[in-house]
Amino acid sequence: MDAESGADVEETFAQDTLGALEDIEAEQAFYDLWRLARLDGGCAIVLVTNDGAPPHLPLNPKNLRSIDKLNIVTRFELTPGELDLDPGSTNFRNPETWTFSDPHGRQGGVIHHTRIIPMQGFKISPSYDREGAVLGLSEPYWGVPIIYSLHDKLRQFHTTFDYTEAVFADIAQGVFKIKDLAELMKSPESREKLMKRMQLTAMAKSAFNMLLLDADNEDFEKRTTAFAGVDTTLVRFMELLSAVSEIPMTKLFGIAPGGLTSDDQSAEKTFNAMIAQKQKRLLRKPLNRLLYLLFASKNGPTNGEAPESWRLVFEPLDEPDGNQLAEKRRMEAETDRLHLENGSVSVMEVRGRLRGEADHGYPLDSDFDDALQELEKEDPLLGQDPLQAVDPFGDEGDEYDESGQPKPPEVRDPEGSTGERASDPTDSPPKR
């Protein structure tokens, strides 16, 4: 067939769009955008466009020929201009323009807000002046760095481990008991003799790993510091740091959790759900903005003609294991079979669904699709309920009972008239 099917057009559109994103290294740019927004409280992408207008003027998508590059700039390199305080504006509470300056203070040009894709860190409130008043931020437009919420718990975590290290260093303490020690410490001569005695004891212990003690006046013992419960305390601080950072312990520390499970599945699901929400809340809008401009550009994947409808879908973060994937395929196959029997879908529609799955495991030859389409045109019963379809063995006249079994055939006499039905060997004999 000369014309492409809907699935082929959709696949071509997706491949061209992904290719255009790879050309401008969009994946790396948005990774840095999200990372620096969390780390510094804000970051932005500056669009390098070919539209025939200087950066300080608005970007007109109708004049856009191409997007050449995505430049990452930190919050410390961008100074927001006057905020748009019109509640009816789509740019409400956002700067109209930005001024770029490098870390050495050298001023750059002015950039219009339509040429920038910013991302803010965590915001205390919609009022941008509140962050500046509470946290002393120099640029109140930006959000709060993630370290603000982690600082206290991170300090407590390190303090706990430092204390544990000190306890280990002093876990065993030697005690030397000397009779009348208080009297020996009164005079200088006695103190000097005591110090020589201690030096000889240390030398003997170091050289021969033994102690020479006066059986009547001296004694030596080791006292161990109680260490019970320290491991539990460390785990509790690790859990606290994991909670405030929103990262499971298996990912943050690389350790398996205790309890009934060893893979921390519940925390993994919670973490994936949190990432999925952040993708929708933080990444969807800037990605949609970039895709809109790509589709509007003359040299873009759609040659400046944006599709009538399109939607950005993030890949699922949960990866099913072999058993879960096999069960999913079994249920989908059973559903497809029921739909085919009911005549609600055709074989081509089922194959189209399989083609949309990356892990279906079938080649799905397009030539076979073309042959199926021709068969569906010739045989409208293809894909309907097999009980209502034509009998492949030629018994078109068979009738079926409620259970789906063929009814017994009727018997005709030699004259051609219809008589009683054929006798059934299981029928009861006639009464005399």
- How would residue 47 be classed by pLDDT, with cut points 50, 70 and 90? very high
Q: At 279, list the tokens.
A: 């993708």
| Residues 6 or more apart in contact with residue 236 via CB below 8 angstroms | none
Query: Span 150-179, mean pLDDT?
Result: 83
- How would residue 148 be classed by pLDDT, with cut points 50, 70 and 90? confident
How far apart CA 55 and CA 68 sit, in angstroms, is 14
Buried b (16+ CB within 10 A) or exposed e, 121-151: bebeeeebeebeeeeebeebbbbbbbeeeee
Query: Span 172-191, mean pLDDT?
Result: 82
pLDDT at 209: 72
pLDDT at 365: 65
Helix (H, G, I), strand (E, B) or coil at 385: coil
- How would residue 55 be classed by pLDDT, with cut points 50, 70 and 90? very high
Residue 359 predicted with pLDDT over 80: no
- How would residue 389 be classed by pLDDT, with cut points 50, 70 and 90? very low
| Residues 6 or more apart in contact with residue 225 via CB below 8 angstroms | 167, 170, 171, 172, 173
How far apart CA 248 and CA 236 sit, in angstroms, is 13
In contact, 113 and 119? CB cutoff 8 Å:
no
Query: Span 117-131, mean pLDDT?
Result: 69
Residue 408 predicted with pLDDT over 80: no
> pLDDT averaged over the chain?
78
How far apart CA 367 and CA 1 sit, in angstroms, is 9
Q: At 31, list the tokens.
A: 């990774």
- How would residue 395 be classed by pLDDT, with cut points 50, 70 and 90? very low
Query: Span 305-318, mean pLDDT?
Result: 85
Give the residue among 48, 52, 32 at the shortest CA–CA distance from 40. 32
pLDDT in tens, 233-271: 888 888 888 888 888 888 888 876 665 455 667 778 888
| Tokens 């989908």 -> residue | 332
Neighbours of 291 (CB within 10 A): 19
Residue 227 predicted with pLDDT over 50: yes
**Backbone φ/ψ region at 14: left (φ over 0), alpha (ψ -120 to 50), beta:** alpha
| Residues 6 or more apart in contact with residue 338 via CB below 8 angstroms | none
How far apart CA 59 and CA 345 sit, in angstroms, is 46
- How would residue 370 be classed by pLDDT, with cut points 50, 70 and 90? low
* Helices assigned H by DSSP within 256-365: 265-278, 284-296, 322-342, 347-355
Q: Which of 23-37, 91-105, 198-212, 311-325 has the highest mean pLDDT?
A: 23-37
Give the residue among 138, 183, 157 at the shortest CA–CA distance from 42. 138
Strand segments (E) across 61-122: 66-74, 78-80, 97-101, 107-112, 116-120
Helix (H, G, I), strand (E, B) or coil at 220: strand
| Tokens 């255009």 -> residue | 20
The DSSP bridge partners found for residue 45 are: 72, 117
Q: Which residue has the higher pLDDT, 367 or 280?
A: 280
- One DSSP character per residue, 246-261 reads T--HHHHT-----SS-
Residue 48 predicted with pLDDT over 70: yes
pLDDT at 262: 54
Taking every pair of C-alpha atoms in the chain, what is the biggest distance, in angstroms?
148
pLDDT at 264: 64
pLDDT at 402: 55
pLDDT at 406: 57
Helix (H, G, I), strand (E, B) or coil at 55: coil
Q: Which residue has the higher pLDDT, 28 or 321?
A: 28
pLDDT at 247: 85
- How would residue 8 be classed by pLDDT, with cut points 50, 70 and 90? low
Neighbours of 299 (CB within 10 A): 14
How far apart CA 198 and CA 176 sit, in angstroms, is 9
pLDDT at 2: 35
| Residues 6 or more apart in contact with residue 126 via CB below 8 angstroms | 93
Q: Which residue has the higher pLDDT, 138 or 298?
A: 298
pLDDT in tens, 63-96: 999 999 999 999 989 888 888 888 898 888 888 9
Count CA within 13 A, CB hemisphere, residue 305: 2
Please tell me the pTM assigned to this model: 0.62
How far apart CA 401 and CA 399 sit, in angstroms, is 7
| Residue 166, CA distances (Å) to 160, 163, 231, 238, 421 in order | 10, 5, 14, 19, 101
Report DSSP state, residue 161. H
How far apart CA 241 and CA 150 sit, in angstroms, is 8
